[in-house]
């Protein structure tokens, strides 16, 4: 079926007090595995391509984006295409021509005032182009002379500041720092569920959980229950993908055909997606 707008999936999830999972695509095999996993679970999903992934592909956005869109369009479940963690407005502008219906504009490394100005400008442009825009509240604590990522350990989003940020930027969704951290390969993060509930009360747009790979199943469920409407997962898929490659090559070191080890890697990712979707699918 045709790609579905991200905003529609998130709005529907939020209204139903559920979440929609957003999985990161790095290779074509990721896209295929995520679509297969979504289909197996019978759940809508957001396929997201990060600026880092675009950089990995030599700055070429169109090949991976269009291939991912084609994979999604061949699926029987609703899938959306999202540009993740974009810091470069030039890349954001290219998104609209390549199947994306949404962007996460990441000004988290900027000081608070500059974050607000840059994000408000990005939101104005995105809305003019028909794109839904997610942002991250960047400098929410820590040392004044060392702007920290919203996902750095120990940094938390303040509900009043978050409400002000949304009002001043006009973003459609807000990524908040509640205890998760990017790129964790062990599921040892501990979320502040009380803070999620307070943010849910204070912030008028859907909340987004980043760095969800490090969050245990029970905390993921509780985070959705407390109000997370979009849950971003990347590293867990890469752990699965690499396990598939490593185990296959360890068992048969003489292999040279990439299909022989990328196939098992893709299967591992599909199974991980299906499992995570079952964890996240419980109604709030
Ligand atoms: O934006 C992407 C997510 O925040 C992914 O985080 O790789 O730690 O799961 P993760
Ligand atoms: Zn993230």
pLDDT band at 143 (very low <50, low <70, confident <90, very high): very low
Contact 125, 92 (CB under 8 A): yes
Residue 240 lies in a domain: no
- Asked if pLDDT for residue 257 goes beyond 50, the answer is yes
* Tens-digit pLDDT profile for residues 267-281: 999 999 999 999 999
For residue 282, what pLDDT is reported?
Answer: 65
Contact 105, 123 (CB under 8 A): yes
The better pLDDT of the pair 284, 43 is held by 43
252 alpha carbon – ligand 1 mean position (Å):
31
Neighbours of ion ligand 2 (CB under 5 A): 210
Residue 152 lies in a domain: yes
232 in contact with ligand 1, CB cutoff 6 A:
yes
For residue 144, what pLDDT is reported?
Answer: 33
Tokens of 154: 């120990």
3-state SS string for the chain: CCCCCHHHHHHHHHHCCCCEEEEECCCHHHHHHHHHHHHHHCCCEEEEEEHHHHHHCCCCCHHHHHHHHHHHHCCCCCEEEEEEEECCHHHHHHHHHHCCCEEEECCCCCCHHHHHHHHHHHHHHHHHCCCEEEEECCCCCCCCCCCCCCCCCCCCCCHHHHHHHHHHHCCCEEEECCCCCCCCCCCCCCCCHHHHHHHHHHCCCCEEECCHHHCCHHHHHHHHHHCEEEEEECHHHHHHHHHHHHHHHHHCCCCCCHHHHHHHHHHHHHHHHHHHHHHHCCCC
* Tens-digit pLDDT profile for residues 104-141: 999 988 888 999 999 999 999 999 999 999 999 953 33
Q: Is the dihedral of CA 203, 160, 183, 190 positive or negative?
A: negative
Total tally of structural domains belonging to the chain: 1
Q: Stretch 53-58: mean pLDDT, rounded?
A: 98
Residue 246 lies in a domain: no
Residue 279 lies in a domain: no
* Catalytic residue from among 84, 106, 158, 219: 84
- Closest ligand 1 atom to residue 233 Cα is 9
pLDDT band at 215 (very low <50, low <70, confident <90, very high): very high
The Cα-based distances of 113 to 134, 137, 158, 162, 166 in angstroms read 17, 11, 16, 13, 13
164 catalytic residue (yes or no): no
Range of the domain at 158: 6-235
253 alpha carbon – ligand 2 mean position (Å):
35
Residue 275 lies in a domain: no
Residue 117 lies in a domain: yes
Domain containing residue 34: CATH number: 3.20.20.70
* Tens-digit pLDDT profile for residues 165-199: 999 999 999 999 999 999 999 999 999 999 999 99
For residue 149, what pLDDT is reported?
Answer: 53
Residue 19 lies in a domain: yes
22 alpha carbon – ligand 2 mean position (Å):
10
For ligand 1, atom 2, which residue shows the shortest CA distance? 232
Residue 43 lies in a domain: yes
For residue 109, what pLDDT is reported?
Answer: 85
85 alpha carbon – ligand 2 mean position (Å):
6
274 in contact with ligand 1, CB cutoff 6 A:
no
Contacting residues for 49 by C-beta, under 8 A, at least 6 apart = 24, 25, 61, 64, 65, 68, 81, 82, 83, 84
Q: Which ligand is nearest to the CA of 24?
A: 1
Average confidence score pLDDT of the chain: 93
- The residue among 121, 180, 139, 132 whose CA lies nearest residue 14 is 132
């Amino acid at each position: 079926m045709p790609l579905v707008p991200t905003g529609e999936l998130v709005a529907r999830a939020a209204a139903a007090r559920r979440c929609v999972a957003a999985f990161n695509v790095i290779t074509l095999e990721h896209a295929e595995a995520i679509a297969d996993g979504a289909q197996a679970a019978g759940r809508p999903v957001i396929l997201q391509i990060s600026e880092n992934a675009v950089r990995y592909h030599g700055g070429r956005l169109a090949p991976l984006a269009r291939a991912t869109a084609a994979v999604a369009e061949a699926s029987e479940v609703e899938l959306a295409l999202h540009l993740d963690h974009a810091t470069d407005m030039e890349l954001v502008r290219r998104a609209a021509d390549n199947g994306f219906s949404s962007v996460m504009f990441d000004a988290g490394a900027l000081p608070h005032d500059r974050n607000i100005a840059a994000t408000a400008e990005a939101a104005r442009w995105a809305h003019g182009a028909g794109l839904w825009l997610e942002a991250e509240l960047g400098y929410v604590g820590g040392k004044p002379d060392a702007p920290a990522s919203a996902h750095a350990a120990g940094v938390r989003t303040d509900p009043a500041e978050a409400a002000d940020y949304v009002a001043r930027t006009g973003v459609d969704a807000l990524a908040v720092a509640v205890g998760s951290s990017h790129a964790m390969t062990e599921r040892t993060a501990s979320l502040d569920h009380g803070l999620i509930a307070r943010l849910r009360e204070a912030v008028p747009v859907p909340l987004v959980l980043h760095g969800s790979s490090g969050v245990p199943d029970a905390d993921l469920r509780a985070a959705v229950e407390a109000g997370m409407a979009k849950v971003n997962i990347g590293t867990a898929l890469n752990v699965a993908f690499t396990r598939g490659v490593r185990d296959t090559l360890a068992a048969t070191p003489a292999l040279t055909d990439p299909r022989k080890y990328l196939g098992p890697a893709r299967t591992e990712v599909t199974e991980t997606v299906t499992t995570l979707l079952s964890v996240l699918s419980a109604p709030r």
